[in-house]
């Protein structure tokens, strides 16, 4: 793989994502809206022994890690739409006639979406800080939050590729992708307390581990806490399985 071609594709894909209203909404407008609405609504409400974290603090601070994780989860939508549209427009077939390899094309998509997630997380951190919602997280905790989201993004890209594989068109992909997103958004984002049975179900979803680790970091839990690294380890496994599965399925069945 040649880095020059990969980075050239990354620039093109980032520009194209910015021009797409759906992607722009997910990357910029949605995080800002969530933080502002819930920050003003729940910023002064104090709760104890909240959710599966069993921590105490302001309700808004519990919600922010979930918003960060959900923002990464939604990146599956532009991935599914982008690959479906590229297939419809014959882009993938044209790539086969150029020196660019399928691997370079895939890697450039992964990098561009990771860049978008980093922008999302940065926006959320800045707004949360301005609204007084970052009382306990440490500088190392902030850095580790970015690492967690980059790893989690691999799983969402895998979801997007699987969606693109089974979808006959970009419009169909836009609907099918919610089969992957909605259950995780409702059950695994740690935005509100859930019964024990539902918490067990959420453990089969990568969003659970991303939001749990981020919640612990936001409340200043020591980085030597094994629960953070357990979450991260399981998230790595989820992400590797999903991204590899997504790439293999799309290369075999989704390029027609």
Query: How many helices and strands (H and E) does the chain possess?
Result: 12, 2
pLDDT at 54 over 70: no
- Percent of the chain residues past pLDDT 90, beyond the cut: 17
What pLDDT digit, counting tens, does each position of 163-185 carry? 888 888 888 888 888 888 899 98
User: Of residues 41 and 26, which shows the higher confidence score?
Assistant: 41
Cβ atoms of residues 76 and 167 within 8 Å: no
| Predicted local distance difference test score (pLDDT) of residue 197 | 80
**Band of the pLDDT at 52, cuts 50, 70, 90?**
low
- Residue 200: partners with Cβ closer than 8 Å, 6 or more residues away: none
**Band of the pLDDT at 51, cuts 50, 70, 90?**
low
Tokens 């002064």 label which residue? 44
**Residue ranges per structural domain of the chain:** 3-253
| Predicted local distance difference test score (pLDDT) of residue 167 | 85
Candidates 159, 158, 129, 160; CA nearest to 142 is 129
Cβ atoms of residues 240 and 153 within 8 Å: no
User: Of residues 19 and 126, which shows the higher confidence score?
Assistant: 126
| Predicted local distance difference test score (pLDDT) of residue 184 | 92
Cβ atoms of residues 191 and 71 within 8 Å: no
Q: What is the SS3 string spanning 128-163?
A: HHHCCCCCCCCHHHHHHHHHHHHHHHHHHHHHHHHH
Helix-, strand-, coil-residue percentages of the chain, each rounded to 5: 75, 5, 20
pLDDT at 117 over 70: yes
Cβ atoms of residues 50 and 151 within 8 Å: no
- Residue 195: partners with Cβ closer than 8 Å, 6 or more residues away: none
DSSP class of residue 51 equals G
Query: What number of residues does the chain have?
Result: 256
**Band of the pLDDT at 241, cuts 50, 70, 90?**
very high
What pLDDT digit, counting tens, does each position of 201-238 carry? 988 999 999 999 998 898 888 898 999 999 999 999 99
pLDDT, mean of residues 91-116: 75
Long-range contacts of 28-31 (CB under 8 A, 24+ apart): 28/119, 28/120, 28/123, 30/71, 30/74, 31/67, 31/71, 31/120, 31/123, 31/124, 31/127
What pLDDT digit, counting tens, does each position of 6-28 carry? 777 788 777 776 666 776 777 77
């Amino acid at each position: 793989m040649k880095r020059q071609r990969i980075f050239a594709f990354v620039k093109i894909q980032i520009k194209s994502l910015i021009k797409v209203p759906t992607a722009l909404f997910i990357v910029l407008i949605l995080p800002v809206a969530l933080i502002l609405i819930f920050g003003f609504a729940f910023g002064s409400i104090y709760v104890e022994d909240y959710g599966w974290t069993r921590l105490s603090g302001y309700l808004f601070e519990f919600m922010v890690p979930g918003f960060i994780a959900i923002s990464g989860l939604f990146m599956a939508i532009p991935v599914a739409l982008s690959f479906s549209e590229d297939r419809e427009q014959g882009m993938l077939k044209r790539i086969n006639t150029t020196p660019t390899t399928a691997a370079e094309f895939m890697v450039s998509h992964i990098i561009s979406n990771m860049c978008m997630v980093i922008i999302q997380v940065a926006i959320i951190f800045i707004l949360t800080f301005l609204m007084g919602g970052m009382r306990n997280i440490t500088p190392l905790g902030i850095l580790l939050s970015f690492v967690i989201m980059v790893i989690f993004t691999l799983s969402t890209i895998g979801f997007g590729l699987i969606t693109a594989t089974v979808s006959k068109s970009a419009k169909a992909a836009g609907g099918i992708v919610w089969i992957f997103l909605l259950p995780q958004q409702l059950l695994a984002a740690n935005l509100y307390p859930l019964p024990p049975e539902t918490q067990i179900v959420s453990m089969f979803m990568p969003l659970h581990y991303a939001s749990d680790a981020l919640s612990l970091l936001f409340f200043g839990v020591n980085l030597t806490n094994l629960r953070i690294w357990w979450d991260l380890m399981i998230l790595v496994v989820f992400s590797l399985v999903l991204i590899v599965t997504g790439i293999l399925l799309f290369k075999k069945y989704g390029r027609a």
